[in-house]
Structure 1
Amino acid sequence: MSVQWSQVKTWSSSGLSAYSGTVSSKRDRVLQQVASIQKNISGFQGQGDTADALRTAMGTAHTALSTLADDLAEVCDALDAAVPNIEQVMEAVKTAESTASSMQCTIDENGKPTCHYSGQESNSYRQVAEASVAGKITEAIALASYADESLNRALGKVGTPGSTSSASGQGTHKLSKSEQERFKNMSPEERADYWSKQSYEQKQYLCDHYPEMVGNADGVEGWARDRANRINLSEKKLAAEKEVEALKVAVNDPQQASLKQKNQEALTKAEHAVEAYSKIKSSLGNGISLEDYQHGKKGDPISLLTLQDDGRRVKAAVAQGDVDNAKHVSTFVPGIGTTVEGSLHNYIRQAGNLRQAAADQGNMPLKDVATISWLGYDAPGEPKFENLGDIASPNLAKEGSDRLAGFLTGMQASREHGAGDAHMSLVGHSYGSTTSGMAATKVKSGVIDDLVLFGSPGMGTFNPSDLHVDEGHRWVSGVPNGDWVQGVGSRFRKKIGFGGLGKNPMDDDSTFTHLSGDATGYEGYNHDAKPNRLRRFDTSNHSVYLEKGTETLQDIGRVVAGVK
C-alpha cells in the first residue's frame, strides 16, 4: 500500500524509540531466564530416565528462549535503524508545511496544496507557489515510502537464516553519538589503529549497525567495508527506487507543471542511480564476499570497498582478490566518460585482465594479487565538445584525488595493522591518471610503491618532485596513434593558455620511465588511427591499454607484480 500524506504528517520517531526500549526491556528479562536455566542445567546432577528427560526439557527451553532473545534483539535493531529514517521524514514534512505557510498555502489530507494568495498577478503566483509546495511534498513522500519499506524488510528478516542481532556476539556494544562522530573524524591511520583493537564480534556489530559509517571509512579492513557496503547497497537501491516512483508521479502532476523540467532531471538522476546499484549488485554476484573467502569458502572474492551517492553520480570501488592479505594490491583509476552504470563491468573486466597479467608476469598464484576498480570520483563526461571544460580543468581531479589519497592511505594503514605491508601500485588511465598523479602528491611517501599513468592528459602536477613516489617507480605508457587525450592538457595550455592538468608524463623531463606503448595485439586496435594531435580528435585507441593481447597490458602487469 502506498504511503499517504495524511499518514506521513503524523509520523514521529519518539514513539518508535519508546517501543524499541520496551522490546529491549522484555529481551533483558528473557536473557535473565536464559541465564537462570543455564545455571540450573550446569548444577543439575540427577541420573536416570526422568533426570535425562528433565535435562532435555531444560535444554529445549534454553534454546527456545535464546532464540527468542535473538529475535527480540533483531526487532530492536530494526526499530533503531528506522529512527533516523523517520526523523528525515519528519524534517521533510516540516519543510513542506513551512514552505506552504510562507507562500500562503494549505495542504489537504490527500497532499494537495492550495494557495490562497489574492494579490496582483495571483494566478501566476499561485501556480508557482503550489508547484513549489507540491515538490516538497513529493520529497517527503519518497522518503516516507523508503522508510516504510526499509522497516518492513528488516522486520520480515527477523528470525530468518543469516539474520544478525545484538545477541549474536559476546561483548558487543552500541556507539554513542559522540563516539560515532569521533570515528568519522579520525584520520585513516587513527581509524586503522582503533579498528585493529576491536574484537571480531564488535567489528561485525559495527558493520551491521552502522553500515553507512563503516562502509566508506578509510582505514577499515576490506572485508568489513564490503560487509557494510552490501547493506548500504540494498538500502540505497531501495531509496532510489522509491524516489523514482515518487518523481514519476510528480513529472505527470499538472499542479507541478512549472517543475516538470526540474523533476525530470531529478528522475533521470534517480533512474541512473538505480541502474548503477543494479550493476554493482550483478558484479558482486560474480564472486563471493571477502569475509566468506577469508573464512574458507571456495570461490574468488569480489568486494565493495566504496559506495557513495553524493556529487554528480553514484561512486563505487570494487575489488577482485583479497585486498587484506594479497602480496600485491593495485588500484585502477579510470577517467573520461566513467560512470558506474555505464562502465563498471568493463573496468572490472580490465582490472581482471591486469590481475591475471601480474600473476603471470610475476610467476605467482592469482591469490597473491588483488586489483581494485576505483570509480570513486566524478569523472568528466565522454570526449565531446560540451565536456571540454571538465576535461581540460583540474577541478574534478582535485576533488577526486582527495578521496583517492584517503582511500590509499587507509588501505596502507589497515595492512600495517593486519597482514602486513603490501606492494601497492596506483594505475591511472585518462583523466584518472591526472587524479592519480594529484593523489600521489597528497599521500605520504611509502603509500604508493609504483605509479603507472597511461593515456594521460597530464600527470596532475608540473613539478615531478611533488610526487611522493620514488623516481625509479614512476611509469608511463602511451600508444602513438588514436589517443587524442594523451598529453592534451599540455597542448591546451601551450595553444590557448587554458588547463591545469599537469605536465605530460610522456615528456622526456617528466621523470617517468616509458613502458611499452604497443597495443597492436588487441583485436580491436585501430591500425588506421590518426597520430595524437590537438586538432585530430581521434580516441579510437584511447582505451586499449589493458586489453588482452597487448604488450601494454603485460608491461603494466610487470609493474603491478613488482618485477619491472
Structure 2
Amino acid sequence: MDIATLYNANINNITIAKNAYDALSTAFGRHVDSWQHEVADRLSASHWTGPASDTAQNRIKELGSELQAAREELSFVSKALANAAERFALAQSHLISALDDAKNAKLNVAPDGRITWDNEPTSPNFAGTGAEARAVAVSNRITAALNEAVQADQEISARLSHLAANASSGTGLNAATAAQDQAADTARENIPAPGTDPNSVKQWWNGLTEAQQQRFTDAHPDQIGNLDGIPAVARDRANRVTLQQAKQNLQFQLDHLGPEPPEKIAGMSGAVSNPAHDEWERKKTLLQEQLNGVNAIDKRLATKVDERNPPTYLLGFDTKGNGHAIVAVNNPDTADNVSTYVPGTGARLGSIGDDIERSDRMVASANSANRKAGDPKTTSSITWVGYDAPQSIVPDAMHDTYARNAEERLQGFEKSLRATHEGKPFNNTILAHSYGTTVVGYALRDKGLPVDNVVLIASPGVGVENARDLGVDPSRVFAAQGDDDPIYRAVPLAADKFGSNIGNYIGTADGLIHNPDHHLIHGRDPVVPDFGARMIPTSPGTGHSDYWNPNSYSLEAMGEIIAGKKS
C-alpha cells in the first residue's frame, strides 16, 4: 500500500458492490420464501404417504436448510463489503488529514512518504522552527494510515476468500458452517460494553481469532484499551495508539487556541477581569497539563528496558475531564506479585509522572525483599489513575462522592487482573495514599475486591470503623502515618465523632496521632488501635508525601508486603 493508492482509492466502488450483493441477497431471500411456501409447505400439507413420500420429504427439508444457509452466507458477503468500505474510508480520511496538515505546515510529502521542507527564514515557504518535529508527527500519521489500510485489506480479503471457498466447495450450504460464520460475524461486530464482567470479556476475547483481535485493536483502540478483561499486552498495544493520537490532538488544540485575550476589560467602575481570558487560561492550562502527562507516560514507555527500568504497560488511557491513565511496571498477567496503587487528592493525567515513579520504587523494593529471601518471584506495580479524584483538599476531599463514583471502576479493574492472569494464582495487593485510601475502603466495603493485602498510607478514613469491615483478613490490612504528616488533623464534621475525638484527646500529652480512638473526615483513623490494622514503620520526619522516599522504612515495608514477605 502506498500513498497514491490509498489517496486515490474510489471507496464508492466497494459500496456499489455491497449494494449489488444486498439486491442479490434480497432477491434470493424472496425465492427461498416463495419456494418454502409453494413447494415445501404444500408438500407437507398433502396427503401423500409412503416410502417415496418420506424420501421426498426428507430431501425437501435438507434442501430448505441448504437454501437458508446460502441465504445467510450471501448476507455475510454484504457485511464484509460494508466493513471494507468503512475501514478503507477511515484510513483514507486519516491519510488526507495528515497530508492537509503537512501542506498547512509547509511540509512537502513525496510519493514515497519522504518529507522535506524549506529551512530558509527569508523564503516565503519557510516551514518555521520546529518543522522537523512536525514532520516526524505527520510521517507517523501517514504510516499509521497506510498500515490501517493494509490491515483492513488483509482481513477483508481473508473473509471474502473464506466465503468464496464456502460457495465453490458447497460447504456454505451446510447449516453448521453458516452458524459458525454467524458466530464469527457477531463476535467481529460486538465489543462487550464497558462494565461487562471481566471474566465474560476474557472469554469473548479468547473466542476471537488473532486476526479478529488485531482488527478490534486497530479499529477501536480506545474501547479495547480501556476494557477490563482484555489481557495486558493487548490493552497496552491499543492504548499506545490512543496515546499518540491524544498527543497529536492536544498539541493541535494548543497550537490553535488563538491569541491570549486581554486580562482586563473596561467595566462600569474601571477595569475588571475578562471572562474570555479566564476561559482561555483554563483551557490552556488543562491542555498543557494533559500534554505533560502524556509526555511523561510516553517517556516511560520508551525507556530502554534494563535491570533498573522494567518494561511498562499502558492499561488504560483517556483525556476526559482531567484525564485518566493506568500504567503497569512489569506485566501483571505474568507476575507472581501484583500491586495496584491508588493515589489521592490531585491525582490526574497531568500529575501521573510522579505516581509512576512511585510504582517503579515499589517494584524495586519488592524485588529487594525477594532477593533477600532468595525468592525469584516477579512483581508488577500498577499506578491506577482510573477515577476522577478530588482536586482540592477543601472542599473536594471533604466529600465522599469521588470515592463512591470510583467503586465500580476499581472493582472491575481488580476483577480484570484475576481474569487475565496466566498460570498460578498471584499475590494481589491494593495500596493507596491519602484520599485514595478512601476510594479503596469504600470499594472494599460496598463492592468487595479480590485482593490479599490492603495497605493504607496517610489515610483520612476509609468509611469503616474496623479493619474486619473491609471484607479481608484483618491481619492483612496495613496502615501507616508519618510523625510529620498533618493528615490526622482531617477531623470529622459530625458532632458525635468530633466530640469523641475531644474526649480521647484529653489527657493525651503528645498529640492526636497517639489517641486510642480518633476519627477523621471519612471514618476512624486506620492507625489507631481500635481500627485493628497492622502498623507500617515510618522514618523520622515523614510528611504526607514522603512515604516513597528512597531507603525509607515505609518503602521497605511496602516492598515486603507486595512481595508476600510480611508474615
Q: Distance in 1 between matches of 2:414 and 2:158?
A: 31
**Residues 1:330 and 2:351 aligned together:** no
**Residues 1:22 and 2:13 aligned together:** yes
Partner of residue 409, structure 2: 403
Partner of residue 544, structure 1: 546
**Residues 1:354 and 2:362 aligned together:** yes
Q: Distance in 2 between matches of 1:422 and 1:502?
A: 31
Q: Distance in 2 between matches of 1:287 and 1:366?
A: 23
Shift in alpha-carbon separation, 1:453–1:487, aligned structure 2, 3 A: farther
C-alpha deviation, 1:425, in angstroms: 0.4
**Residues 1:282 and 2:282 aligned together:** no
Return the match for 2:388 from 374, 378, 381: 378
Partner of residue 142, structure 1: none
Q: Distance in 2 between matches of 1:74 and 1:252?
A: 50
Letter in 2 for 1:408: E
C-alpha deviation, 1:315, in angstroms: 1.4
Return the match for 1:427 from 410, 428, 431: 431
Q: Structure 2 length as normaliser, TM-score?
A: 0.62
Are the equivalent residues in 1 in contact too, given 2:461–2:522 (CA < 8 A)?
A: yes
C-alpha deviation, 1:258, in angstroms: 6.1
Cα deviations by residue, 1:40-61 (Å, 9 ceiling, x for unpaired): xxxxxxxxxxxxxxxxxxxxxx
Are the equivalent residues in 1 in contact too, given 2:315–2:325 (CA < 8 A)?
A: yes
**Residues 1:341 and 2:350 aligned together:** yes
Q: Distance in 2 between matches of 1:263 and 1:159?
A: 36
Q: Distance in 2 between matches of 1:85 and 1:158?
A: 5
Partner of residue 534, structure 1: none
Shift in alpha-carbon separation, 1:483–1:405, aligned structure 2, 3 A: same
**Residues 1:247 and 2:247 aligned together:** no
Partner of residue 151, structure 2: 165
Are the equivalent residues in 2 in contact too, given 1:443–1:468 (CA < 8 A)?
A: no
Partner of residue 454, structure 2: 451
C-alpha deviation, 1:508, in angstroms: 1.6
Q: Distance in 1 between matches of 2:532 and 2:150?
A: 53
Partner of residue 532, structure 2: 511
Return the match for 2:563 from 557, 561, 564: 561
Shift in alpha-carbon separation, 1:399–1:238, aligned structure 2, 3 A: same
C-alpha deviation, 1:441, in angstroms: 2.5
C-alpha deviation, 1:223, in angstroms: 0.8
Cα deviations by residue, 1:343-379 (Å, 9 ceiling, x for unpaired): x232222222211221222336677101011122233
SS at match of 2:524: coil
Cα deviations by residue, 1:3-37 (Å, 9 ceiling, x for unpaired): xxxxxxxxxxxxx9x944536999xxxxxxxxxxx
Q: Distance in 1 between matches of 2:189 and 2:86?
A: 20
Q: Structure 1 length as normaliser, TM-score?
A: 0.62
C-alpha deviation, 1:307, in angstroms: 0.6
**Residues 1:203 and 2:213 aligned together:** yes
Q: Distance in 2 between matches of 1:460 and 1:233?
A: 35
C-alpha deviation, 1:499, in angstroms: 7.5
SS at match of 1:452: strand
Letter in 2 for 1:323: P
Cα deviations by residue, 1:68-120 (Å, 9 ceiling, x for unpaired): xxxxx99974632677999xxxxxxxxxxxxxxxxxxxxxxxxxxxxxxxxxx
Identity %, equivalent residues: 23
Are the equivalent residues in 1 in contact too, given 2:95–2:145 (CA < 8 A)?
A: no
Q: Distance in 1 between matches of 2:427 and 2:491?
A: 30
After the TM superposition, which parts of structure 1 deviate over 6 Å for at least 4 consecutive aligned residues? Answer: 23-26, 73-76, 82-86, 149-152, 169-178, 252-255, 496-499
Cα deviations by residue, 1:414-473 (Å, 9 ceiling, x for unpaired): 22xx4343211001111111112122224446x111100011111233464542322221
Q: Distance in 2 between matches of 1:265 and 1:246?
A: 15
**Residues 1:438 and 2:442 aligned together:** yes
SS at match of 1:332: strand
Shift in alpha-carbon separation, 1:472–1:299, aligned structure 2, 3 A: closer
Partner of residue 60, structure 1: none
Q: Distance in 2 between matches of 1:484 and 1:74?
A: 60
Shift in alpha-carbon separation, 1:183–1:403, aligned structure 2, 3 A: closer
Return the match for 1:394 from 400, 403, 421: 400
Partner of residue 475, structure 1: 478
Cα deviations by residue, 1:163-192 (Å, 9 ceiling, x for unpaired): 961355697899779944644452222212
Partner of residue 181, structure 2: none
SS at match of 1:378: coil
Are the equivalent residues in 1 in contact too, given 2:359–2:383 (CA < 8 A)?
A: yes
Q: Distance in 2 between matches of 1:177 and 1:310?
A: 28
Shift in alpha-carbon separation, 1:252–1:476, aligned structure 2, 3 A: same
What are the within-5 Å matches in structure 2 for residues 27-426 of structure 1?
A: 77=87, 79-80=89-90, 154-157=141-144, 165-167=151-153, 179-180=189-190, 182-184=192-194, 186-249=196-259, 251=261, 259-287=276-304, 300-311=310-321, 313-342=322-351, 344-362=352-370, 363=373, 368-381=378-391, 387-415=393-421, 418-426=422-430
Shift in alpha-carbon separation, 1:365–1:461, aligned structure 2, 3 A: same
C-alpha deviation, 1:496, in angstroms: 8.8
Q: Which sections of structure 1, spanning at least 5 residues, go unmatched?
A: 1-15, 27-72, 87-148, 527-540
Q: Report the RMSD for the aligned CA atoms in angstroms.
A: 4.3
Letter in 2 for 1:439: A
Letter in 1 for 2:292: E
